[in-house]
Amino acid sequence: MPSTRETPGPRRRRRREREERRQQILDAARQLLFRKGLKAVSVSQIARQAELGVGTLYFYFRSKEDIFASLQDEGLRLLHADIAAAAAAAEDPRDQLRGMARAYLEFSQRQANYFEIINYFLSAPEVLFTPTVKRHIDNHGRKILQQVAGAIEGGAAAGLFRELPAYRTAIVFWGLLHGLLPFRKMRDTLLRGEDHQELLEHAVDRFLDSLQAGRP
Protein backbone atom coordinates (compact mmCIF):
# COMPACT_ATOMS: atom_id res chain seq x y z
CA MET A 1 0.00 0.00 0.00
CA PRO A 2 1.52 3.35 -1.03
CA SER A 3 2.49 5.75 1.75
CA THR A 4 0.21 8.77 2.32
CA ARG A 5 2.94 10.69 4.11
CA GLU A 6 3.84 13.96 2.44
CA THR A 7 7.38 14.27 1.14
CA PRO A 8 9.60 17.11 2.40
CA GLY A 9 9.67 18.77 -1.06
CA PRO A 10 6.00 19.90 -1.15
CA ARG A 11 6.16 20.98 2.51
CA ARG A 12 9.19 23.13 1.85
CA ARG A 13 7.54 24.59 -1.24
CA ARG A 14 4.40 25.52 0.70
CA ARG A 15 6.48 27.09 3.49
CA ARG A 16 8.38 29.10 0.89
CA GLU A 17 5.14 30.18 -0.79
CA ARG A 18 3.62 31.23 2.55
CA GLU A 19 6.72 33.28 3.39
CA GLU A 20 6.68 34.88 -0.08
CA ARG A 21 2.99 35.76 0.33
CA ARG A 22 3.62 37.19 3.78
CA GLN A 23 6.49 39.29 2.43
CA GLN A 24 4.26 40.44 -0.42
CA ILE A 25 1.80 41.82 2.15
CA LEU A 26 4.53 43.50 4.20
CA ASP A 27 6.03 45.11 1.08
CA ALA A 28 2.64 46.51 0.13
CA ALA A 29 2.03 47.80 3.66
CA ARG A 30 5.46 49.47 3.74
CA GLN A 31 4.77 51.35 0.51
CA LEU A 32 1.38 52.56 1.72
CA LEU A 33 2.69 53.49 5.15
CA PHE A 34 5.22 55.93 3.72
CA ARG A 35 2.78 57.30 1.17
CA LYS A 36 -0.26 57.82 3.40
CA GLY A 37 0.58 57.24 7.07
CA LEU A 38 -0.75 54.46 9.27
CA LYS A 39 -4.15 55.97 10.07
CA ALA A 40 -5.02 56.61 6.42
CA VAL A 41 -4.21 53.04 5.33
CA SER A 42 -6.86 50.32 5.45
CA VAL A 43 -6.61 46.55 5.23
CA SER A 44 -8.46 46.62 1.90
CA GLN A 45 -5.90 49.09 0.51
CA ILE A 46 -3.05 46.84 1.59
CA ALA A 47 -4.78 43.85 0.01
CA ARG A 48 -5.25 45.75 -3.27
CA GLN A 49 -1.63 46.92 -3.26
CA ALA A 50 -0.51 43.32 -2.68
CA GLU A 51 -2.96 42.07 -5.35
CA LEU A 52 -4.58 39.71 -2.85
CA GLY A 53 -8.02 39.21 -1.43
CA VAL A 54 -8.82 40.67 1.99
CA GLY A 55 -9.58 37.17 3.27
CA THR A 56 -6.13 36.00 2.21
CA LEU A 57 -4.53 38.90 4.05
CA TYR A 58 -6.41 38.01 7.25
CA PHE A 59 -5.06 34.46 6.95
CA TYR A 60 -1.58 35.91 7.58
CA PHE A 61 -2.30 38.88 9.85
CA ARG A 62 -5.01 39.68 12.41
CA SER A 63 -5.22 43.42 11.70
CA LYS A 64 -3.59 46.40 10.06
CA GLU A 65 -1.69 47.12 13.28
CA ASP A 66 -0.44 43.53 13.29
CA ILE A 67 1.02 44.06 9.82
CA PHE A 68 2.87 47.25 10.74
CA ALA A 69 4.01 45.77 14.04
CA SER A 70 5.51 42.87 12.08
CA LEU A 71 7.50 45.34 9.97
CA GLN A 72 8.81 47.04 13.10
CA ASP A 73 9.50 43.71 14.76
CA GLU A 74 11.47 42.32 11.82
CA GLY A 75 13.57 45.48 11.55
CA LEU A 76 14.46 45.46 15.24
CA ARG A 77 15.35 41.75 15.13
CA LEU A 78 17.78 42.36 12.26
CA LEU A 79 19.26 45.38 13.98
CA HIS A 80 19.72 43.52 17.26
CA ALA A 81 21.56 40.71 15.44
CA ASP A 82 23.90 43.26 13.84
CA ILE A 83 24.54 45.02 17.17
CA ALA A 84 25.20 41.73 18.98
CA ALA A 85 27.65 40.65 16.26
CA ALA A 86 29.50 43.98 16.49
CA ALA A 87 29.78 43.67 20.28
CA ALA A 88 31.08 40.09 20.01
CA ALA A 89 33.72 41.08 17.44
CA ALA A 90 35.74 43.21 19.91
CA GLU A 91 37.08 42.75 23.44
CA ASP A 92 37.80 46.37 24.37
CA PRO A 93 34.50 48.03 25.47
CA ARG A 94 35.48 51.19 23.60
CA ASP A 95 35.84 49.22 20.37
CA GLN A 96 32.55 47.46 21.10
CA LEU A 97 30.77 50.81 21.26
CA ARG A 98 32.51 52.01 18.10
CA GLY A 99 31.55 48.77 16.37
CA MET A 100 27.91 49.08 17.42
CA ALA A 101 27.83 52.65 16.09
CA ARG A 102 29.21 51.46 12.74
CA ALA A 103 26.72 48.58 12.70
CA TYR A 104 23.82 51.00 13.15
CA LEU A 105 25.13 53.26 10.38
CA GLU A 106 25.54 50.27 8.05
CA PHE A 107 22.07 48.99 8.99
CA SER A 108 20.56 52.36 8.07
CA GLN A 109 22.17 52.03 4.63
CA ARG A 110 21.86 48.30 3.95
CA GLN A 111 18.40 47.89 5.46
CA ALA A 112 17.09 51.33 4.53
CA ASN A 113 13.43 50.25 4.43
CA TYR A 114 13.56 48.77 7.92
CA PHE A 115 15.49 51.77 9.23
CA GLU A 116 12.79 54.08 7.86
CA ILE A 117 10.09 51.94 9.50
CA ILE A 118 11.86 52.13 12.88
CA ASN A 119 12.37 55.87 12.47
CA TYR A 120 8.74 56.36 11.44
CA PHE A 121 7.34 54.84 14.61
CA LEU A 122 9.97 56.43 16.87
CA SER A 123 9.13 59.89 15.54
CA ALA A 124 5.33 59.43 15.53
CA PRO A 125 3.71 61.93 17.93
CA GLU A 126 1.48 59.26 19.47
CA VAL A 127 1.58 55.56 20.32
CA LEU A 128 0.24 53.63 17.34
CA PHE A 129 0.04 50.08 18.75
CA THR A 130 -1.94 48.35 21.46
CA PRO A 131 -0.16 48.08 24.84
CA THR A 132 0.52 44.36 24.30
CA VAL A 133 2.04 44.85 20.85
CA LYS A 134 4.00 47.88 22.05
CA ARG A 135 5.49 45.89 24.94
CA HIS A 136 6.57 43.18 22.50
CA ILE A 137 8.26 45.70 20.19
CA ASP A 138 9.80 47.65 23.08
CA ASN A 139 11.37 44.43 24.30
CA HIS A 140 13.48 44.27 21.12
CA GLY A 141 14.61 47.86 21.62
CA ARG A 142 15.46 47.05 25.23
CA LYS A 143 17.68 44.15 24.12
CA ILE A 144 19.66 46.53 21.89
CA LEU A 145 20.09 49.04 24.72
CA GLN A 146 21.11 46.25 27.09
CA GLN A 147 23.84 45.26 24.63
CA VAL A 148 25.15 48.84 24.73
CA ALA A 149 24.79 48.99 28.51
CA GLY A 150 26.81 45.77 28.79
CA ALA A 151 29.73 47.40 26.98
CA ILE A 152 29.51 50.42 29.28
CA GLU A 153 29.45 48.20 32.36
CA GLY A 154 32.42 46.25 30.97
CA GLY A 155 34.36 49.47 30.51
CA ALA A 156 33.66 50.52 34.08
CA ALA A 157 34.68 47.09 35.42
CA ALA A 158 37.99 47.34 33.50
CA GLY A 159 38.69 50.80 34.90
CA LEU A 160 38.32 52.45 31.48
CA PHE A 161 35.06 54.23 32.22
CA ARG A 162 33.88 55.98 35.35
CA GLU A 163 30.92 54.55 37.21
CA LEU A 164 27.70 55.69 35.55
CA PRO A 165 24.14 54.36 35.33
CA ALA A 166 24.79 52.02 32.40
CA TYR A 167 21.30 51.72 30.95
CA ARG A 168 20.64 55.47 31.10
CA THR A 169 24.04 56.12 29.50
CA ALA A 170 23.18 53.59 26.78
CA ILE A 171 20.00 55.55 26.02
CA VAL A 172 22.03 58.75 25.64
CA PHE A 173 24.52 56.96 23.36
CA TRP A 174 21.74 55.57 21.18
CA GLY A 175 20.04 58.96 21.04
CA LEU A 176 23.28 60.47 19.80
CA LEU A 177 23.57 57.89 17.00
CA HIS A 178 19.91 58.01 16.00
CA GLY A 179 19.93 61.80 15.95
CA LEU A 180 22.95 61.98 13.65
CA LEU A 181 21.98 59.30 11.12
CA PRO A 182 19.31 61.38 9.27
CA PHE A 183 21.90 64.12 8.69
CA ARG A 184 23.23 61.95 5.86
CA LYS A 185 20.39 63.36 3.75
CA MET A 186 21.85 66.86 4.24
CA ARG A 187 25.24 66.16 2.69
CA ASP A 188 24.62 68.79 -0.02
CA THR A 189 23.31 71.43 2.40
CA LEU A 190 24.15 71.49 6.12
CA LEU A 191 26.90 68.88 5.78
CA ARG A 192 28.50 70.25 2.64
CA GLY A 193 32.22 69.62 2.99
CA GLU A 194 31.71 67.10 5.82
CA ASP A 195 31.96 63.33 5.61
CA HIS A 196 28.92 61.90 7.39
CA GLN A 197 30.65 58.74 8.62
CA GLU A 198 33.61 60.70 9.93
CA LEU A 199 31.21 63.03 11.72
CA LEU A 200 29.50 60.08 13.36
CA GLU A 201 32.83 58.56 14.42
CA HIS A 202 33.93 61.94 15.81
CA ALA A 203 30.74 62.12 17.89
CA VAL A 204 31.28 58.58 19.21
CA ASP A 205 34.88 59.35 20.16
CA ARG A 206 33.81 62.50 22.02
CA PHE A 207 31.16 60.44 23.81
CA LEU A 208 33.81 57.90 24.81
CA ASP A 209 35.99 60.75 26.08
CA SER A 210 33.15 61.77 28.38
CA LEU A 211 33.06 58.24 29.87
CA GLN A 212 36.77 58.09 30.72
CA ALA A 213 37.72 57.18 34.26
CA GLY A 214 39.10 60.13 36.19
CA ARG A 215 36.82 62.72 34.58
CA PRO A 216 34.67 64.75 36.96
Mean pLDDT, consecutive 10-residue stretches, the chain (216 aa), reads 61 88 92 84 94 93 87 91 96 97 95 86 74 84 95 96 96 95 84 88 96 79
Neighbours of 152 (CB within 10 A): 23
**Domain covering 64-211, topology:** Tetracycline Repressor; domain 2 (1.10.357)
pTM over 0.85: no
Closest CA relative to residue 57, chosen from 44, 70, 38: 44
Tell me the C-alpha distance between 69 and 136, whole Å. Answer: 9
Q: What pLDDT does 215 receive?
A: 67
> pLDDT value at position 4?
56
Output the pLDDT for position 5: 60
Q: Where are the domains of the chain?
A: 1-61, 64-211
**What is the predicted pLDDT for the residue at 211?**
96
Q: What is the pLDDT of residue 216?
A: 62
Indicate the fold that domain 1-61 takes in CATH: Arc Repressor Mutant, subunit A (1.10.10)
* Alpha carbon distance 50, 46 (integer Å): 6
